[in-house]
Amino acid sequence: MRGRKGRLLNDEILRVEGLRKEFPGVVALDGVDFTLRAGEVHVLLGENGAGKSTLIKMLSGAYHPDGGRILVDGAPTEIRTASDAQRLGIATIYQEFNLVPQLTVGENLALGRPPRRFGFVDTGRMHEQAGELLRRVGVDVDPRTPVARLGIARMQMVEIAKALGLNARVLIMDEPTAVLTTTEVERLFGIVRQLRDQGVAIVFITHHLEEIPQIGDRVTVLRDGSSVAEVPATTPENELVRLMVGRPIDQQYPREPAAPGGPLLQVRGLRREGEFTDVSFEVRAGEVVGLAGLVGAGRTEVARSIFGADAYDSGEVLVNGRPLARGDVHAAMEAGLGLVPEDRKGQGLVLGADVGENLGLVTLRRASRGGFVDRQGQRRAAAEVARQLGVRMSGLGQEVRTLSGGNQQKIVIGKWLLAKASVLILDEPTRGVDVGAKVEIYQLINSLTASGHAVLMISSDLPEILGMSDRVLVMARGRLVGELAAGEATQDSVMALAVTEVEDARVH
């Protein structure tokens, strides 16, 4: 049987043999074998730091292997640049978006290959082509919209549309569902199945194990830089976990409730024009409060306003009983409030700085005396926090950009531990994090609440919300529409609230 790309389905397109890559002090890949066939979805599975990102960067031309070889259509091939990969028909959708925020959606989709007329860019045709691609992925976005105005979920769909525009025969998707709602995931899976049936070979990376039998055909598992198994996509989750981490994980959501104390965070009547209105709730010491809702419900906007990153029009935020100045991040930090943002790379880290510098970002002013920073004291404290969190690194001097996603997330959380924040707002705390690192973050949340901290957790992963929250708040269309105790909250009850048609759907 032939796909529309003209290849026999199940023909081998790409093979990796004994691939090796070493960075200073770190062996990222050590003998990886991997094959990819036309018309299949091949899931690449492994913990953060297992080597998945390094492998796909070599297939896309960002890195060059130190050993082993890559074969395309049976012939040894060198992929030294992104242009080489594109010439071979390999397109990659990275977890870190490769979009230019200042350009429009249409300009991003046509970047490097805009349609021309009489030597000039044909903007009308460009936006027409962009509209066709956006319709294919089911996104209702005007191609003339600047990418900077889009939320994370819509940026993800634009990235997918961009890859579709290349007519690739090998499509690599790195955590494409991490920020999508259930409806958007189903839409994406429909697109993936359509491409697979046309003969496209797809490498699909995900940390959501329940997605694997829904979309995958085969699974290759990486651990510590080596390929350790190739198994069917129907392999049970507990066996996949054992292969990934080398040990079984007994409890996926190990919430240990603590006796709640007094309110540490109080939000009263918060309102921001066009975003949210009449938002009121509290989070008590020792408590995890989950904030659920569909993408676009206003959860992140509320979190950023509480922290002072965005201003709000009216209402009040109190931490430890004291009102916070509106739109003042420094005042929020001084009051003991910390925010782990959903975009850790863009808003939570300085990627060019090292681990020690990132851990000390929040406490830099506090560690200064007479204009000088106690760097030695900062490094000692940073080393202790990194040890407590189990950060996998060569040392405090390692650049944060070279860490795995899970370890980067630990750094973002760790800087607030170093600052002794009493209230932590966690926005998508395990996005792009493997199952082993997720459990470590959940255990960290347990230790925080056991010591009297308060946690407000925003997540699009509904099982995570249900598994780790003591109470669940649900937002819809910029309003809080319900509150459920842990014992009452189910996927059905939360989703019923999340799709509530608010009486006044437009926020005034």
Taking the domains of the chain in order of start, what are their residue ranges? 12-251, 262-350+421-505
pLDDT of residue 248: 66
CATH superfamily name and code, 12-251: P-loop containing nucleotide triphosphate hydrolases (3.40.50.300)
| β-pair partners for 230 | 220
Nearest in space to 269 (alpha carbons), one of 259, 260, 279, 261: 279
Contact status, residue 458 vs residue 428, Cβ threshold 8 Å: yes
Distance, in Å, from the CA atom of 198 to the CA atom of 3, rounded to the nearest integer, reads 4
pLDDT of residue 350: 87
pLDDT of residue 5: 46
pLDDT of residue 374: 66
Residue count (the chain): 508
In the numeric block, which tokens belong to residue 401?
């950009």
Fold match between domain 12-251 and domain 262-350+421-505: yes
Q: Is the pTM of this model over 0.75?
A: no
pLDDT of residue 97: 78
What topology is assigned to 262-350+421-505 in CATH? Rossmann fold (3.40.50)
Along the 508 residues of the chain, how does pLDDT read in single tens digits? Answer: 444 444 455 789 999 999 999 887 678 899 999 999 999 999 999 887 788 989 999 999 999 999 999 999 999 999 999 889 989 999 998 877 788 888 999 999 988 788 888 888 888 899 899 999 888 877 788 999 999 888 777 887 888 888 888 878 999 998 888 777 777 788 889 889 988 998 999 999 998 888 999 999 999 999 888 999 999 999 998 899 889 887 666 677 888 888 899 999 999 999 999 899 999 999 999 999 999 998 778 999 999 999 999 989 999 999 999 999 999 999 999 999 999 998 888 888 888 888 888 888 777 666 555 556 667 777 888 888 888 888 888 888 888 888 877 788 889 988 888 888 899 999 998 887 777 778 888 988 999 999 999 999 999 888 899 999 999 999 998 999 999 998 899 988 998 898 876 544 333 3
Q: Alpha helix (H) ranges present in 282-364?
A: 299-307, 329-334, 355-359
Per-residue CA distances from 421 to 31, 238, 450, 454 (Å): 43, 36, 14, 9
